[in-house]
Structure 1
Amino acid sequence: MLADRYVFPAIFHFADDGISVEFPDLPGCFSYGEDEIEALSNAKEALELHIFGLEDDKEIIPTPSHIKNIVTKKNESIVLIDIWMKPVRDFMKNKAIKKTLTIPKWLNDVAIENDVNFSQLLQVAIKNYLGISTNE
């Protein structure tokens, strides 16, 4: 069962040109911000997307390190990043995905003349085909 809430430590590296962020427990999860507010916001988004990717790939979510066990250097701070995954999962589930389709030119011309919304029509047609209520 997936957890809905995760709290991971992040290391904020302070430099003259901004703040880079890394998650010691999540290789490949990095972020950046020009100031603390932007760094925190971007770190939260990076963590959400990284955890979502792990969940989607059915990979194991690592156990977060205890902050007392993380060694920092000068100009570094540990920040706990707290995320709530339910809204992230809902957003990703309903995210629009671009599809490339091929139809005859004459049909495209007639549809354009009649102001057809291709995306909406395709969604309704697929839902009807699959027997899914169009109210979803």
Structure 2
Amino acid sequence: MKDNFIYPAIFSFVDDSIAIEFPDFENCVTQADNMDEVSRIAKDRLALEIYDYQEDDRKLPDPKSFKEYNAALQPSQSLAYIDVWMPYHRAQIKDVYVKKTLTIPNELNVLGQLNNINFSQLLQEALREKLNMH
């Protein structure tokens, strides 16, 4: 299965937001509030669309040429190519869990159990905070 995909996106600058459309896919649209989040939001939306196509065993569309899209752009629009690496996005979408074995001091184990601490949840929260994923 192919892992890397590149498709054109049309950015339309409307009022205080940026509309993002993937013209090779029917109704594949989203929006961003500012330029800082455009790339992430566009990648997430494209990855979700590709994931849906793959899950349904549908053939992905072939991207049209740059010239075809560029000629049709309005003054308030721009064209960009968005690439997604699907192994990362599949992991995000499926939320696959991996078993990890760890060793902690007995004192922490006893106190955690007495306080009904969910060790798995605590480790996830700590990792997300450490990785700035909150």
Unaligned runs of 5+ in 1: 97-114, 118-136
What's 1:104 paired with? none
For residues 27 and 83 of structure 2, the distance between their equivalents in structure 1, rounded to whole angstroms, comes to 18
- 1:20 matched to 2:8? The reply is no
Higher mean C-alpha deviation, range 6-15 or range 62-71:
62-71
For residues 44 and 93 of structure 1, the distance between their equivalents in structure 2, rounded to whole angstroms, comes to 16
TM-score, L = length of structure 2: 0.66
What's 1:92 paired with? 93
What's 1:57 paired with? 56
Shift of 1:91: 3.3
What's 1:40 paired with? 39
Cα RMSD after superposing both structures: 2.4
Find the structure with the greater CA-based Rg.
Answer: 1
For residues 30 and 24 of structure 2, the distance between their equivalents in structure 1, rounded to whole angstroms, comes to 14
Shift of 1:35: 1.4
Percent of pairs identical after alignment? 33
The one-letter amino acid paired with 1:89 is R
Structure 1's consecutive aligned runs of 4 or more residues displaced over 4 angstroms after TM superposition are none
Unaligned runs of 5+ in 2: 98-115, 119-134
